[in-house]
Structure 1
Amino acid sequence: MKKYDICIVGSGAGAGPIIYELAKAGFKVCVLEKGPALETSDFSKDEYLACRKDVYASNLQNEFHEIESFSKSQKKWKLATTKATGRTYWNGNMVGGSSNLMSAYFHRLKPNDFKLLSTYGKIEGANVADWPIDYNTLEPYYAKVEEVVGVSGEVRPHSTQEPRSTKDFPYPPLKTNLISEWLDKAALAEGYSMVSVARGIISKTTTNRNACYYSNFCGSYGCSSNAKSSSRVALIYPAMATGNCTLIPNAKVYRLETDGTGKVAKAHYYLKDEKKSIEADIFVVAAQAIESSRLLLMSRGKLHPNGIGNQYAQVGKNIIFSAGGIGSGNLFDKDFSKETIAKIKTPGLWVNRAIQHWYEIDDPAFNGKVKGGTVDFVFEHANPMPKLMRQKWGDNGLVYGSKLKENIQDYFLDQRKIKFEIFNDWLPTDNCMVSLSETEKDKWGDPVAKVKIGYHPHDLIVARFLADKAEKILVNIGAKNISTGISSTPSPNLVAGGCRFGEDPKESVLDKNCKVHDCDNLYVADASFMPTGGSVPYTWTIYANSFRVADVIKRQLTI
């Protein structure tokens, strides 16, 4: 059995920097990825393939989750499997993980995100905790992501601009639509500046990657130009080129085996339903938050009877998603000149604008300062299928024939929808956690993850405050039919926590370097480590932290 310096479970944003850094440093790396090794040529703009058939997610008849959610109508918690409901919590089942499918709106966390408890105090019913590191510790790694992974953008002053060690981004900003200028003016009229949003999409061609060609399809789709800064393209391919990285796709890890000292000795996995194992000196788990917790809980042994890292029953606790909601408005052709509407309807160009003026809220509506959030402005996704489906409804129910044709023509030819997405903290609570199902098993006979999804009411109050600010901006640019939906139902593609890091082993699973407290050669490097999620998408922070952990592991291997 071949022994490696390091074995990494997963290949997404939490795994890629470690794979890249260790392979480039000359260490022998083995990557166990549950999904297939898809190439850039495998990604097309086939909507039915990408979005309706879930080809990039696991087959729910074979692998699924058990979801426990609260029924407001029945006033009780109810269980349902995703196999029965069809709502998947699997994301990016392939080499590079969900970083292949991300929309790649990149925001850094801000200094106050690292000290939520000490800055804003306790919130009853929430398990808020400070991070064991601060913004300054992570800042150099944010800068490294910009350069190595590839981030485009422009630094423009605004009220909550975080400190930077570099003057600007290594790639210039992507081309934007006329609507971006309107949003800038609308914000200035309200007394603040819009944020120019950075993107994990490169704007100019490099030796191994093409620039964005503005295909008008991005989120939920793989990139056919290699412009999107996925772990696969930006990190794993260069790691493979060193000759030091062995990639094993379709390898489903089900248990980590420890030796008599409590260190991990082997990773056991299924390959075409055959059981295999890998030995290494260091192990890293980066399987996305739900499955990383599940793997640690399933890895029981003499010295870890309740699972690795679970000596104080902390594994799987304090799972977090991203709170917020979605709003929209319509820009009708009849309200603008032909020349203006032609510019608004130019396909492919980005909006790339956000509000972060209320990242910290100091308003009479709240009792003192509270943590706020981010509002990203985007155009409606280019997918035609959901747009078509919505046109079958009229004021009195289903419509047919001429009325349906009229609705379709009006929606596709006479208007364009502008949307906003709200991101604010999903406060960790005792009612949001991962455990092992007592009854449900996957196709290999292993217990599936049971995910209890509860939320804190404070999240909805903050989201509503931000929505009011965003709606005013849409009014200012001339949008009509403005509406917002604030929801306690989480987006399954933004999940973190479950193995939070901290100083006290009784209240955390990992130390400040993301090493498991009770296992000296095991690290967890995906979003699981986050005690709080901030008010932005997680990907940039996952990448940055993984580069930080890579430096720690290199030092450990050279001692």
Structure 2
Amino acid sequence: MNTDFDVCVIGSGAGGGPVALTLAQAGYSVLVLEKGPWFNEQDFYKDELACCLRETYTASLKDEPHVIEKEDDDGNWYSHSTYRSSDSFWNGNCVGGSSNFMSGFFHRLKPVDFQLKSRFGPIKGANVADWPISYEDLEPYYTKVEHEVGVSGRVVKHPHSEPRSTKDYPYPPTAEHPFATYIDEACTELGYHSLPMARAILSKPAMGRESCSYNGFCGAYGCATGAKGSARAALLNRAVASGRCEVRPHANVTRLRSDAKGRITHVEYLDAQEQTQHVNAKIYVLACQAIESARLLLLSTGEKYPQGLANSNGLVGKNLLFAGGGAGSGRFNYARFDAQKATALKQYPGAFINRALQDWYVIDDPDFGPAQKGGTIDFVHLHPNPVARATRQLRNRQGLIWGKPLQQQLKSYFSEGRSIKVEAFCDWLPIDDCFVSLDKTLKDKWQRPVAKVRTGFHVRNLQVGWYLANKSAEVLKKMGAEDVLAFASGSPPTNLIAGGCRFGDDPKTSVLNADCRAHEVDNLYVSDGSFMPTGGSVPYTWTIYANAFRVADKIVAQLGGWKKYA
């Protein structure tokens, strides 16, 4: 087995895939180590139990729990293991990582996201920092993602759109549900500006992948056609086909070893037979997802790094980010609409809504206070999972129901109307009480300390979340929805995680430099979402992809540039 590579990438999701593909195309030997199995399209079936109620595609919480710290109403912190709890921060332990299971709705960050502190000033209780790069630095890589990963959509003139170097997306938009038109009409009446949403899903066959089949089971499910732009389907398959990239599944990395000078010498991992193996490389790239990347660095102590690799300033794991915001929903009872509209609402079960609002990306509302960062509102279908949806019908206002009343409730719910939901995203402000550390008592199956995740949040998250959720409720009501709900929550969404190894120009206040290379370790890069000092007001995946392509170019330059035969 070859143990000598130019680049070793640990993790195979949105942060690892772009690095592997770029370096392989540039002519360098690449090894990708992935702790989970290697699933392909034929392994992704629409089984709600396997997907969402069992650990088919994620790590076993019995073997690999996390410890979650939460704050009670009295300001005290209490902790619990995620084993046998409803919390899980694992989102996809397999080749391609959680990008296999994303919904694929893509938004870029905007120029304001890179200068949050400069634009709005310090926020009491928050560790807000400007990025060491600008939107202009990342824009070419957003464009590259559109072509390399495959993004479908349409660009329209819009007062809140960010600058683009191309006129449109490379693929036409995915099929849209009639709800999209109704949202457009309601927003126009309210004076708002609905925005067509791009998706990392192919609307037509391309790059050896099939187009979307519109079966409705998308988010949280693997894609059986390859249309979804996962790191596996879009990038790693091509990297392996180049002949210069090897992907090793079932490779559970346990430690990065370093020498007295502080350089990484090799990686240790457990193979499928749980035998210890090691790999040597010139450059090491960490892309395990924010929580596990921080954990691995903290576990990788050495002569120069008694607190963990690249952690002399104690900032590894700090300033963890989730996604702030709110949510809501509205139900559309067919009986309220004319026959033509009711028929339209019943059809197209798998077509996407593809609509968003960014009118309040910056909130300039005197009633809310000084101008401040706001966020994005996305309109999406209620998740199709029938088991979970039916289970929620077991109670009504009088309590638990069963027998004929339950049958009638289920019939009404599934046949007499349908609901859409709202997801509102705002910045999860980095604070001192949101971080990753190593638990002092609980260990995983292999006797390594598990990650302890403190999930404190800033009150601003809630304030902006409520503002956005209430705006979304206005739109739902204008559309004719009933039972409209809108709310904000301080609980972290477990599928949107970043931070923990923020980048910056000052080694005293950041873990990585502007190129995402560790300040202290010249052969270590971190290319997942860990680099982000602030998260913006959109889901992170497109930005992680784009930055990973940017980091890959920096690594190519460090290794000497593109080889002539590549």
Same fold (TM over 0.5): yes
1:550 has 2:552 as partner:
yes
Residue pair 2:326, 2:468 contacting (<8 A) in 1 also: no
**What is residue 193 of structure 2 aligned with on the other side?**
193
Q: Please state how far the C-alpha of 1:364 moved relative to its aligned partner.
A: 1.2
**What is residue 464 of structure 1 aligned with on the other side?**
466
Q: Please state how far the C-alpha of 1:339 moved relative to its aligned partner.
A: 2.2
Question: Gaps (5+ residues) in structure 2?
Answer: 562-566
Q: Please state how far the C-alpha of 1:118 moved relative to its aligned partner.
A: 0.3
SS class of match (1:240): helix
Q: Deviations over 1:200-220 (max 9, x none)?
A: 001011241001110111000
Q: Deviations over 1:385-437 (max 9, x none)?
A: 11111111122111111111110110000001011101000000000000111
Residue pair 2:465, 2:487 contacting (<8 A) in 1 also: no
Q: Deviations over 1:277-305 (max 9, x none)?
A: 10000000000000000111111111112
Q: Please state how far the C-alpha of 1:341 moved relative to its aligned partner.
A: 1.4
Q: Please state how far the C-alpha of 1:75 moved relative to its aligned partner.
A: 3.9
Letter in 1 for 2:319: N
Q: Following superposition of structure 1 onto structure 2, how do residues 184-333 of structure 1 map, counting pairs within 5 Å?
A: 184-271=184-271, 272-333=273-334
Q: Deviations over 1:80-121 (max 9, x none)?
A: 111242421111110000000000110000000000000001
Query: What is the alpha-carbon distance in structure 1 between the residues aligned to residue 133 and residue 75 of structure 2?
Result: 40
Q: Deviations over 1:532-556 (max 9, x none)?
A: 0000000000000000000000011
Query: What is the alpha-carbon distance in structure 2 between the residues aligned to residue 30 and residue 467 of structure 1?
Result: 44
Query: What is the alpha-carbon distance in structure 1 between the residues aligned to residue 52 and residue 207 of structure 2?
Result: 31
Q: Following superposition of structure 1 onto structure 2, how do residues 511-522 of structure 1 map, counting pairs within 5 Å?
A: 511-522=513-524
Q: Deviations over 1:62-93 (max 9, x none)?
A: 11111111122x54100111124242111111
Given the alignment, which residue of 527, 530, 536 partners 2:529? 527
**Taking structure 1 as reference, are residues 390 and 86 closer, same or farther at Cα in structure 2, changes over 3 Å only?**
closer
What RMSD over aligned residues (CA atoms) do the two structures have, in Å?
A: 1.0
Higher alpha-carbon deviation: 47-56 or 314-323? 47-56
Q: Please state how far the C-alpha of 1:485 moved relative to its aligned partner.
A: 2.7
Higher alpha-carbon deviation: 370-379 or 201-210? 201-210
**What is residue 505 of structure 2 aligned with on the other side?**
503
Letter in 2 for 1:70: E
**What is residue 175 of structure 2 aligned with on the other side?**
175
**What is residue 564 of structure 2 aligned with on the other side?**
none
1:54 has 2:51 as partner:
no
Q: Following superposition of structure 1 onto structure 2, how do residues 1-20 of structure 1 map, counting pairs within 5 Å?
A: 2-20=3-21
Query: What is the alpha-carbon distance in structure 2 between the residues aligned to residue 537 and residue 412 of structure 1?
Result: 30
Query: What is the alpha-carbon distance in structure 2 between the residues aligned to residue 306 and residue 400 of structure 1?
Result: 56
**What is residue 417 of structure 1 aligned with on the other side?**
419
1:105 has 2:118 as partner:
no
SS class of match (2:436): strand
Q: Following superposition of structure 1 onto structure 2, how do residues 359-398 of structure 1 map, counting pairs within 5 Å?
A: 359-398=361-400
Query: What is the alpha-carbon distance in structure 1 between the residues aligned to residue 463 and residue 157 of structure 2?
Result: 28
Query: What is the alpha-carbon distance in structure 2 between the residues aligned to residue 484 and residue 268 of structure 1?
Result: 48
Query: What is the alpha-carbon distance in structure 2 between the residues aligned to residue 375 and residue 499 of structure 1?
Result: 28
Q: Please state how far the C-alpha of 1:134 moved relative to its aligned partner.
A: 0.4
Scaled by the length of structure 1, the TM-score of the pair is: 0.99
SS class of match (1:4): strand
Residue pair 2:379, 2:420 contacting (<8 A) in 1 also: yes
Query: What is the alpha-carbon distance in structure 2 between the residues aligned to residue 125 and residue 102 of structure 1?
Result: 32
Residue pair 2:286, 2:525 contacting (<8 A) in 1 also: yes
Q: Following superposition of structure 1 onto structure 2, how do residues 419-438 of structure 1 map, counting pairs within 5 Å?
A: 419-438=421-440
Letter in 2 for 1:289: A
Query: What is the alpha-carbon distance in structure 1 between the residues aligned to residue 472 and residue 116 of structure 2?
Result: 24
Query: What is the alpha-carbon distance in structure 2 between the residues aligned to residue 113 and residue 267 of structure 1?
Result: 35
Residue pair 1:324, 1:463 contacting (<8 A) in 2 also: yes
Letter in 2 for 1:427: L
**What is residue 157 of structure 2 aligned with on the other side?**
157
Q: Deviations over 1:251-300 (max 9, x none)?
A: 11111011233111101111132111100000000000000001111111
**What is residue 45 of structure 2 aligned with on the other side?**
44
Q: Please state how far the C-alpha of 1:338 moved relative to its aligned partner.
A: 2.3
Q: Deviations over 1:473-530 (max 9, x none)?
A: 0011100110123111111110100000001111100000000000001000000000
Query: What is the alpha-carbon distance in structure 2 between the residues aligned to residue 508 and residue 212 of structure 1?
Result: 41
Residue pair 1:60, 1:86 contacting (<8 A) in 2 also: no
Residue pair 1:145, 1:540 contacting (<8 A) in 2 also: yes
Higher alpha-carbon deviation: 132-141 or 466-475? 466-475
Letter in 1 for 2:229: S
User: What number of residue pairs does the alignment pair up?
Assistant: 558
1:81 has 2:107 as partner:
no
Residue pair 2:498, 2:532 contacting (<8 A) in 1 also: yes
Residue pair 1:159, 1:192 contacting (<8 A) in 2 also: no
Query: What is the alpha-carbon distance in structure 2 between the residues aligned to residue 243 and residue 66 of structure 1?
Result: 41
SS class of match (2:453): strand
Residue pair 2:127, 2:431 contacting (<8 A) in 1 also: yes
SS class of match (1:64): coil
Given the alignment, which residue of 407, 420, 424 partners 2:409? 407
Q: Please state how far the C-alpha of 1:332 moved relative to its aligned partner.
A: 0.4
Letter in 2 for 1:10: G
Residue pair 1:146, 1:169 contacting (<8 A) in 2 also: yes
SS class of match (2:507): coil
Give runs of ≥4 in structure 1 deviating > 6 Å. none
SS class of match (1:268): strand
Letter in 2 for 1:312: N
**What is residue 122 of structure 1 aligned with on the other side?**
122
Query: What is the alpha-carbon distance in structure 1 between the residues aligned to residue 55 and residue 189 of structure 2?
Result: 43
Query: What is the alpha-carbon distance in structure 2 between the residues aligned to residue 338 and residue 231 of structure 1?
Result: 43
Q: Deviations over 1:424-457 (max 9, x none)?
A: 0000000000011111111111111111110000
Residue pair 1:31, 1:245 contacting (<8 A) in 2 also: yes
Query: What is the alpha-carbon distance in structure 1 between the residues aligned to residue 462 and residue 491 of structure 2?
Result: 11
Query: What is the alpha-carbon distance in structure 2 between the residues aligned to residue 2 and residue 285 of structure 1?
Result: 17
Residue pair 1:158, 1:192 contacting (<8 A) in 2 also: no
Q: Deviations over 1:208-237 (max 9, x none)?
A: 100111011100000001000000000000
Query: What is the alpha-carbon distance in structure 1 between the residues aligned to residue 378 and residue 115 of structure 2?
Result: 24
